[in-house]
Chains A and B, each alone.
Chain A
Amino acid sequence: MDTAKIKTLRQVSEAISEVDDARAAAKNDTTISQAQKDALDHSSVLLRRLLNDILLQNEQVLIDALRVDTVEMNVLITTIGNAVTSLSSVSNTIQKLSTSVGALITIATTTVSAGLI
């Protein structure tokens, strides 16, 4: 059974794969600016941090960490931008992921405030 946590972990992992593929492709691509390459590298670090945060289980720390992660993700979406067509899919993936993590935060906040864990 795929739980919400496993589903989100999988989504984050798929986003990491997509970002890493884009990083590998951008390595020798002169059409992609250095700022965008840096943003991709930063995305990869941020997404792995997000993955670790979801894996950990300290409730309130987790919720706070995820909130920070999603704010940073939204900044990245803007930085990567849609100027370069090859990166628009990466930007969309992170956007979708940000929405999923937002839903996860809502579940976690409800669970913690209800004292269920």
Chain B
Amino acid sequence: MYAGRRIRVFSPLYTLPAYFTFVTCYRNIDFDQFFKFKKMKISLTIVTVLVLLFSSCASLTKSQVAAVNQFAQTSSNFSAFPSKIINGVHDLHIRHQLYAANAVPKGEDHVDQIKDVYDFKVKSTGLPEKMDITFRIIDKYAQSLLLLTGDKEITNLDSLSKTFGTGIDSLIKLYNARFPSDELPSGIGGAISALVSKGGEAYIRARQAEYIKEFVPRGDVLIGKMIDNLLDYLQNGIPTPFDTVSVLGLVKEERVFTKRDYLTFVKLVTPTIDNDRDYFQMLSDLDNIELLYRQTIQGAKDLRAAHAALLGVIKEKKTLRETIRELQDYYEAIKSLRATFSKISSN
């Protein structure tokens, strides 16, 4: 099922006939043919070098490249899920505060409250800097991998070169400058960027497997670190000027705020059926944000496991059958995340 056409023709198997020929010759060797033996010895060295050389040459089946491509496609916008948790909470905050504003008698305070809600919307759009860069690195890495493994023709080499190199490397550089105690390995995109800028499309395609073999192992360290950051943020909390606040703690507080503001609205203004439906939707959004929170933690762990499994396929020559569970778990996790994501309304 997973045996596909080889992309590269080089394989250690091709050297076996030469090796057996040599062994056969060696057994039948005569002492009178001492000089011939010396030549054979040299041949053995050459064969050994070739075996080693060919073993190190990239050789991936089409299905292996497709597996990396599917992983890249699935991960290319992963940061949307954790971002939605924070943005979803902020959206809810705005919605229930508008109900509170509506319950303030018409006048200056009413207008001021709406302005306060607007200010909150404007100021609350950013994530903490470390998370922002972390999310961009995860997405950029997956998008680079997607380009590297795609079937589509490469029409713009300049843009490809930038995507591989400058994009991810400049993000890593920015991260290392801002968080020097938590340094990331640099130069992940540089080597590939140089190769891309040197060769044409045919050259790149011919070297595709080789590039994947170079990119994915380096990316594994990066992905591991980025997932650590994400899990730390989600599970341990957001550093604030006061202390560290858990994301789930904020979601739970928002549940209390939502009820409180709608209750104020109900007490001071007569609600319509549409208002009640909206409150109903807010409660549903809160549940889905909590669900998304749990699913994102699981999804992040699965992403790391799936990437490690892909590395096994590429580096340790594991078969896809051996790693299919990690990949399937990850794709199932993403499917659930997408379903929950789509249920949360946007402001």
Binding site for B on A (CB under 8 A): 1-6, 8-10, 13, 16-17, 20-21, 23-24, 27, 38, 41-42, 44-45, 48-49, 51-52, 55-59, 61-63, 104, 107-108, 111-112, 117
Contacts and interface: CB of A to CB of B under 8 A. Distances in A.
A6 B245 contact: yes
A23 B269 CA distance: 12
B253 A62 contact: no
A48 B116 contact: yes
Given A24-B267, A108-B242, A55 B93 contact: yes
B268 A23 contact: yes
Contact of B104 (A45, A51, A117): A45
Contact of A57 (B97, B104, B240, B256): B240
B104 A41 contact: yes
Contact of B241 (A24, A38, A41, A117): A117
A3 B107 CA distance: 37
A57 B241 contact: yes
A48 B100 contact: yes
A6 B237 CA distance: 12
B214 to A, nearest CB: 38
26 contacts: A3-B242, A3-B246, A4-B242, A8-B242, A13-B253, A21-B267, A24-B264, A27-B268, A44-B100, A44-B264, A45-B104, A45-B113, A48-B100, A48-B116, A51-B257, A55-B124, A55-B250, A56-B124, A59-B241, A104-B242, A107-B242, A108-B241, A108-B242, A111-B241, A117-B239, A117-B240
A21 B93 CA distance: 20
